[in-house]
Chain A
Amino acid sequence: MSEKTTGLDRREFLAATGFGLAALTFAGMGGLLTENVDVATAEELPLSRIDTDILVIGGGYAGAFAAVEAKKAGLNVVLVDKGTVGRSGQTPWANGFNVFDEAAGDNREEMIAGASISSEYINNLDWLELQFEDSKLRWDDMTEWGFQDPSLRHPHLALRDKLVEDNVRLVERTMLTELLTQNGTVVGAIGFSLDSEETIAVVAKATIMCAGAGSFKASGFPIQGLTSDGDAMAYRAGSVISGKEFVDFHSATLETPADCYGQWQGMWEAGVSQTHGASGGGMLMSEAFAAHAGTSTTGDMPDGMAPGGDSSDMAAAGGRPEGGPPSDGDSSDMAAAGGRPEGDPPSDGGSGEGSRPGQGRGVQVSGAATGLGIHKAEGVWPTDMTGASNVPGLWAAGDGLASMLCGASYAGVGLSSSGSAVQGARAGAGAAAYAVNASAPTVSDSALEEIRTAVLAPRSLESGYSPAWVTQLLQNTMFPYYVLMVKKADRLEAALTQIMFLQEHMVPLLMASDTHELKLAHETRNMLLNAEMKLRASLYRTESRGTHYREEYPARNDAEWLAWVLIQQDENGNMALSKEMVPEKWRPDMTVDYQTRYASRFPGELAFLGLE
């Protein structure tokens, strides 16, 4: 704990990054490893500094709405995006926007029941309440901003147009890599521009993390720019993180598994339309179970499982909304179709006749997007209904906020985009209320220097490992189905051993010869941290629930695990896990027998419980 009054928390930062410390001993060994063809020192990448009231990191739905809302308070707002607003992350591919509208036939009790069944009762109904209150307002905002204007090349460019109109300062194609902390408070962030050789520091009274989710650059799904940067930055700054044990994945074709557009063309072309209700739409875990059993179909599996899918037995028990959502079909239809769209299928979308978005022509395997978490159920753990983290000065919204609007599996088509919009606006208001009364951080340029050196460390290495190679090792460790889809302690621990070795040995030697590779180096480091979180959380939850399946604990354990897993750095810099029980009022009716309470089955579940 150093520099508490005059500078930033430097020593903590350097210990956390791992970057730079090995550089001196490794330099000069060139010949065995790839040499850096363009070494640059920190002096060659000068500091560009921006002081503002509010920093928003990420320019999707959450970030755009956060910035617009904060701007309403009359504050200066800077939004930094690794790409450009409306074209980075998952936002450009959203085509369902979940709206709660009683005039359109939506029903609160039905939606609460549907969301809770889909989430397997570890969802947070306070955040669903915000959807009831705000989702239609956010849809109306989007409409006012012109996102349905046919002259736009893409609907989500309306987000960017609105920010420009509102005088939000956009800093695009810039990767922020570390939050700045001072006296335990977040006071902005630092990173670098992709287009110029310069470091960029944004010093702000409040920071709103809207950097989205992350995977491990899996092929076949348009998320390779999403590398859990927000979660990693927040964690390193002391934030509590949650939701890491649950998984999402999508289909790819065996013939061209990297072909995103072949899979998702329909999403792109369909535009954005309203969805209603919450009746699941989660992954077909049965596909992974079938793969594990060595079968080519799910037909032989015990009651093939689509979390949050067809829970007709629960409906009989009074817990399931009848009739499904008004427009987007029952998830059991998706299960029957073998696909897993996240929106209304266009009439002739996808790349194959009759195919749906996410299911192009050809033989499908669930290999795309592997490593994702559940929308609205992963990221910074909120301490209030504005998405404030446990670290003063830091808010989060969207897919980087563990709001638990959804729980152990996805609760409803379109909740991701509208949830991000709703939460973004709330976070913008919350952060603005804080910033209005906060004094400007007094961060000196000299205090930024040491952090800047660490951020740029991969550029200063004379030889080392390429980020692409380390990422390949990470993918080889994390992608096979038997690590995160069908889990068991020995395999999780084996993968964790590999990941920790990569963190400890490879990260300090990640090398970058330009800003593109510097981005890859930081992304690789963040993905490795996310992998550690996912493995440790998966080991910690000794039950199965939703998209989390443990072979040796193949059943829900309501007595112990109607709970959220919380991850936080301890005082020694190690990853510490704990759990917080779901409040009694949101738990399932325990008088309903188990097989009715949970209609879908995990392999081996009933035998484990002595129910067969």
Chain B
Amino acid sequence: MAVQNIDPRRCMGCKTCIMTCPTDVFRYDEKSKQAIAAYPSECQICQMCVNFCPVGAITVTPDKSTPILTAWG
């Protein structure tokens, strides 16, 4: 759904996706020195990250599901 993954074989840790995402989906992982899709539920499928990523590492699909509504949460 929405943002699927960042290909670790391609990501070079440039943080462009972090700077690009309008909804703060990505964060930088200090251990791997790469970006991670930390908050995929926020992905609005605008694909700006895909368009700006210099190495084509990000996959975003058109589908998305929302959580089941609960009485409190």
Contact = CB atoms under 8 A, between A and B. Distances in A.
A88 B72 contact: no
A84 B20 contact: yes
Nearest to A257: B64
A272 to B, nearest CB: 15
B62 A516 contact: no
Given A219-B44, A222-B44, A516-B38, A256 B63 contact: yes
A224 B21 CA distance: 11
Given A465-B72, A468-B67, A153 B19 contact: no
B66 interface: yes
Contact of A258 (B23, B27, B45): B45
A217 B73 CA distance: 18
B72 A516 contact: no
B51 interface: yes
Contacts of B42: 224, 516, 520
Given A33-B72, A256-B63, A261-B62, A224 B44 contact: yes
Interface in A437-484: 465-466, 468-469, 472-473, 476
Contacts of B23: 224-225
A259 B72 contact: no
A469 B23 CA distance: 17
B34 to A, nearest CB: 16
Contacts of A87: 19-20, 22, 48, 52
B15 to A, nearest CB: 10
Contacts of A154: 51-52
A173 B47 CA distance: 18
Given A87-B22, A260-B45, A262-B62, A469 B73 contact: yes
A43 to B, nearest CB: 24
Given A260-B47, A264-B46, A465-B73, A519 B63 contact: no
A472 B19 contact: no
A224 B39 CA distance: 14
B6 interface: no
Given A34-B73, A154-B52, A465-B72, A258 B19 contact: no
Counting chain A residues whose Cβ lies within 8 A of the other chain, the interface size class is 35 or more
Contacts of A88: 22
A519 B21 CA distance: 14
B32 interface: no
B45 to A, nearest CB: 5
Nearest to A93: B46
Given A154-B52, A258-B2, A268-B51, A466 B73 contact: yes
A261 B47 contact: yes
Residue from B48, B62, B63, B70 whose CB has the most chain A CB atoms within 10 Å: B62
A284 B60 CA distance: 30
Contacts of B27: 516
Contacts of B2: 258
B46 to A, nearest CB: 4
Interface in B1-59: 2, 18-24, 27, 38-39, 41-42, 44-48, 50-52
Contacts of B41: 468
A330 interface: no
B73 A225 contact: no
Given A259-B45, A469-B72, A225 B64 contact: no
A583 B67 CA distance: 49
Given A469-B72, A469-B73, A261 B19 contact: no
Nearest to B68: A472
Contacts of A223: 44
Nearest to B21: A83
A83 B22 contact: yes
Contacts of A469: 70, 72-73
Interface string A8-45: 00000000000000000000000011100000000000
B51 to A, nearest CB: 7
Given A87-B22, A262-B62, 19 more contacts: A84-B20, A87-B20, A88-B22, A153-B52, A154-B51, A172-B19, A217-B44, A222-B22, A224-B23, A261-B62, A264-B46, A268-B47, A468-B67, A468-B73, A469-B70, A469-B73, A472-B69, A516-B27, A520-B42
Interface of A: 32-34, 83-84, 87-89, 92, 153-154, 172-173, 194-195, 217, 219, 222-225, 256, 258-262, 264-265, 268, 465-466, 468-469, 472-473, 476, 516, 519-520
22 contacts: A32-B72, A33-B72, A87-B19, A89-B22, A92-B48, A153-B51, A153-B52, A219-B64, A222-B46, A225-B22, A225-B24, A256-B62, A258-B44, A258-B45, A258-B62, A259-B45, A261-B46, A268-B51, A468-B67, A469-B73, A472-B69, A472-B73
